[in-house]
Every structure is written in C-alpha cells, then in structure tokens.
C-alpha cells in the first residue's frame, strides 16, 4: 500500500497547490484558462512528440496491449452510451464522459505505479502511445464535431475530419512523432532539449489547473444531484469495470501469463487522467463531471490498485 500511496503523493500535492493558489487569488481570475490553454497547445504537444518520436516500431504488436485495448474500448463505449442516453449529454459531453470512464492516468501515475508494483514501466509506455495515437483522436473528433453542432454551425464533416490533425496540436504532435519514429531518425539535441523542458511542464501544470478549478467550483450544466450520479457511474466504470473487463480478456480469453495479467489489470485500474478535465475545459464544456471523476477515481483507485496487486501479484 505504501508503494501505491507514494505514487499518488505528487498528484495530491500539486492539485492542492493549485487550490491554494486559486483560493488566494495569486494568479488572477483567468489563471485556469491560461494554464489550461498552455497545457493543451504547448506543453502537452511537446511531451507527446518527444515520447512518440522515440518509440520503437512494433510497439502495438503485444498481446497484453490487445487485452488492455479491448477493456478500454468496451468500457469507453459503455460510458459513452450511458452519458448520452441516461444523462442526456450531447456528443461532446458524452465523449468526455467516455474519457472519464476509460482513459487511464498512464503518465504521471502509471509510470511510478508500474515501477513500484510491476518492476518496470515498459508496458505503460505502450499504453501511453495507445491512448495518444488511437484513443485521443477518437475523443477529439467527437469533441470537435459535437461542439461544432452545439454552436449551430453547418456541418462540414469530411473537410473538418481531414483537417482536424492540422487544427489540433495534440494530434498533430503525435502524428509528427510517428513520422519521425518511422524514419528512424533522431532529431537534433537543439530541438529535443527545449521540447523536453516544455513537455515536463505538462503534467504539473495540468494538475495545478485542476486544483484551480476546485476552488472555482462547478462550471454549470448539471446540478449537484445529476453530477454526483455521473461521477459515480464514471468512477465505477473506471476503477471496477475496466480492470474487470481487462482481467476477463487477458485471463480466461487470452490465457496470458501471470505477470502479463497483473500488468494489464494494474494499468487498467489506474484512475481517470486529468486530460479529461483539460479537454473539457479547452472545448468549453462543463468541467465539473470530468474534474470530479479525476479526483474521486484517484482516491478510490488507491484501494483498487492495492487489491489488484495483492490478488494477482507473486505470492512469495
């Protein structure tokens, strides 16, 4: 339990700093907006380009990633349907709901948990790429089309779909990283070092912005009752249904070895990534459900991660 707890400490500290800064009014009323846009348009694309460009070919050709991806797809699709039909969210709102249910905090939490529980973070690196290159484009496409319709603007389906990578810095940075990785070339240090510095600011800045949003309060859209129900569904699917789905695929269906099964379940049990909050804020959506899902799932997963490690880990 102490290993898992130590991995959560930076999350709570940085979020708490953001809350204290917001409560004290140190950065002004626009701090959350400015920091959120910095993360989305500058720091996160830099981090993703650096990460993806250094990936090795064949990263996705691993049975453990297939099991993780199947669990993610099943739970995310279920979450999208529930938020769309049961909570009356539009396409964009349901996309954030699906993200809250199935997009794991693989970077700032997954890496330390994997190192301390699994012994290395190689599988987490594959999950990061899976989410960046496959899951994020789907979510961002739904957000883009959903907010386009919400604004009452005419649909430009094919053109907007084709130009989305150019207009979205996260997808663009990921695709550029894939192109660099495919060529086998290494960018010069004069380029990679500044990007490393910028990328290192993505996670802490996102957490500080998350803390600022806690002080600001809910962003509207749904009342406390409906939002609590949304949070409960998202957290339940994220911390219980996703690791269970991954276990069923990796264990009974695929028969993966014990160490691979443990890795798949542990990584699937990680809490909701703060990216859900960042995306909701960037697209002008109600940030309350995403923010609450991040915070509550992070707390609950401290228990579920420990239980998974105890149940599936080496007995000796």
In this predicted model, what pLDDT tens digit does every residue of 86-137 receive, in sequence order? Answer: 999 999 999 999 999 999 988 767 776 776 677 766 788 788 888 888 898 8
Higher pLDDT, 216 or 141: 141
pLDDT digits (tens, 9 = 90+) for 37-54: 898 889 888 887 887 787
Q: Per 3-state DSSP, what percentage of the chain is helix, strand, and coil (rounded to 5)?
A: 80, 0, 20
| Residue 303 confidence (pLDDT) above 90 | no
* Torsion angles phi and psi, residue 145, rounded to 5: -70, -35
| pLDDT at position 160 | 57
Alpha helix positions (H), 168-287: 169-183, 189-200, 202-216, 224-236, 242-248, 258-268, 275-282
Pairwise CA distance, residues 316 & 309, whole Å: 13
Higher pLDDT, 134 or 157: 134
* Domain CATH code at residue 204: 1.20.1530.20
Pairwise CA distance, residues 202 & 105, whole Å: 13
Name beta bridge partners: 104: 272
| DSSP structural state of residue 55 | P
- Three-state DSSP at 230 gives helix
Q: Which pTM was predicted?
A: 0.75
Q: What is the longest distance spanned by two Cα atoms in the chain?
A: 62
Number of structural domains in the chain: 1
| pLDDT at position 315 | 57
Residue 203's domain spans which residues?
2-312
Average pLDDT value for residue range 256-264: 92
């Amino acid at each position: 339990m102490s290993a898992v707890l130590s991995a959560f400490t930076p999350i709570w500290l940085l979020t708490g700093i953001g809350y204290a800064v917001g409560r004290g009014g140190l950065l002004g009323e626009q701090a959350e907006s400015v920091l959120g846009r910095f993360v989305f348009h500058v720091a996160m694309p830099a981090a993703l380009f650096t990460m993806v460009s250094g990936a090795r070919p064949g990263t996705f050709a691993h049975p453990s990633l297939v099991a993780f991806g199947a669990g993610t797809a099943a739970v995310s699709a279920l979450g999208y349907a529930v938020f769309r039909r049961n909570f009356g969210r539009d396409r964009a709102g349901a996309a954030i709901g699906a993200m809250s249910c199935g997009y794991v905090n693989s970077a700032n939490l997954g890496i330390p948990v994997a190192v301390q529980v699994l012994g290395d973070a190689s599988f987490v690196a594959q999950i990061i790429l899976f989410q960046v290159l496959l899951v994020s484009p789907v979510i961002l496409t739904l957000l883009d089309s959903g907010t386009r319709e919400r604004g009452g603007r005419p649909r430009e389906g094919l053109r907007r779909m084709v130009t989305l990578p150019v207009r979205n810095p996260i997808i663009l940075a990921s695709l550029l990283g894939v192109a660099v990785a495919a060529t086998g070339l290494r960018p010069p240090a004069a380029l990679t070092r500044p990007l490393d510095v910028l990328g290192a600011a993505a996670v802490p800045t996102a957490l500080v912005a998350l803390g600022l949003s806690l002080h600001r309060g809910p962003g509207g859209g749904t009342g406390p009752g409906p939002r609590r129900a949304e949070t409960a569904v998202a957290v339940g699917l994220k911390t219980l249904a996703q690791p269970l789905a991954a276990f069923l695929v990796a264990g009974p269906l695929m028969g993966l070895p014990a160490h691979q099964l443990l890795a798949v379940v542990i990584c699937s049990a990680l809490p909701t990534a703060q990216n859900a909050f960042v995306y909701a804020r960037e697209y002008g959506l109600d940030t309350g459900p995403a923010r609450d899902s991040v915070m509550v799932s992070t707390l609950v997963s401290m228990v579920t991660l420990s239980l998974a490690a105890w149940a599936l880990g080496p007995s000796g």
